[in-house]
């Protein structure tokens, strides 16, 4: 599919639900990042913006990108309303076409799943290369299908964190896998429902 198809699809996903007044950060982000010194972060597929806002409130300088202009415009408005316009740069960006410029202390990719054509391994490999020495790539993937997910395909298969790490083919002399496991939690959906879901968590640190 073309860039315009991706924009149309994801604009439709976000436009179909009300804008979140105060979107929540992903729990895997808060657990992994709490205690790290603030630096420069890149949020890939920022969505409603909960992660970017949480990081910015804690002193991070955040570049937040999404293919959906609806998502980007909503996050820009939230950053302004919450007094964080100098800490969050929200940009529409098609990761299938190019990767954001810059180097980062943290790159987050939460649930970067799409029904459209996207070389995810190439995107995550570029993210690892964009890390500064000591920086971390946090990849959180679905390990199960939530009732409110846009993807209800019963035949969908979710690769393990170990498979994702292997697919990046990173030089172990430059990058180290700090974490690769699954965790089960009770999640709250946008419609108020709760369900038990599985997250696949991968953390890769650039060592040099």
pLDDT, tens digit (0-9, with 9 covering 90-100), for 78-132 = 999 999 999 999 999 999 999 999 999 999 999 998 888 899 999 999 999 999 9
Distance of CA 40 to the CA centre of its chain: 15
Confidence of residue 2 (pLDDT cuts 50, 70, 90): low
pLDDT at 1: 47
User: Across the chain, what does the average pLDDT equal?
Assistant: 93
Rounded Cα–Cα distance for residues 24 and 49 (Å): 8
Rounded Cα–Cα distance for residues 38 and 132 (Å): 13
Confidence of residue 36 (pLDDT cuts 50, 70, 90): very high
Rounded Cα–Cα distance for residues 204 and 137 (Å): 5
- Kindly report the pTM of this predicted structure: 0.92
User: Over the range 139-171, which residues count as b (16 or more CB within 10 Å of their CB) and which as e?
Assistant: bbbbbbbbeebeeeeeeeebeebeebbeebebe
Rounded Cα–Cα distance for residues 39 and 59 (Å): 7
Task: Report whether 103 contacts 131 (CB < 8 A).
Answer: yes
Domains of the chain: 3-206 (3.40.50.150)
The percentage of the chain sitting over the pLDDT mark of 90, rounded to a whole number, equals 80
- What mean pLDDT comes out for the span 18-34? 94
Distance of CA 131 to the CA centre of its chain: 15
Sequence-ordered list of residues with C-beta below 8 angstroms from that of 184, at least 6 positions apart, any chain: 196, 197, 198, 199
Q: Which residue has the higher pLDDT, 148 or 139?
A: 139
């Amino acid at each position: 599919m073309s860039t315009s198809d991706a924009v149309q699809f994801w604009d439709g996903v976000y436009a179909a639900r009300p804008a979140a007044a105060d979107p929540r950060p992903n729990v895997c982000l808060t657990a992994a990042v709490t205690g790290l010194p603030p630096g420069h972060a890149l949020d890939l597929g920022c969505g409603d913006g909960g992660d970017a806002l949480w990081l910015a409130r804690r002193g991070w300088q955040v570049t937040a990108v999404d293919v959906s202009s609806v998502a980007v415009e909503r996050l820009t408005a939230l950053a302004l309303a919450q007094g964080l316009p100098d800490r969050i740069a929200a940009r529409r960006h098609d990761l299938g076409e190019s990767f954001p410029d810059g180097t980062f202390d943290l790159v987050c990719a939460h649930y970067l799943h799409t029904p459209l054509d996207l070389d995810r391994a190439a995107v995550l490999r570029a993210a690892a290369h964009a890390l500064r020495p000591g920086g971390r790539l946090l990849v959180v993937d679905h390990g199960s299908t939530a009732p409110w997910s846009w993807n209800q395909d019963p035949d969908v298969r979710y690769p393990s964190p170990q498979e994702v790490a292997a697919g990046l083919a990173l030089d172990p002399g430059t990058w180290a896998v700090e974490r690769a496991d699954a965790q089960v939690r009770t999640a709250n959906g946008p419609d108020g429902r709760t369900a038990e879901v599985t997250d696949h968590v991968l953390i890769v640190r650039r060592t040099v």
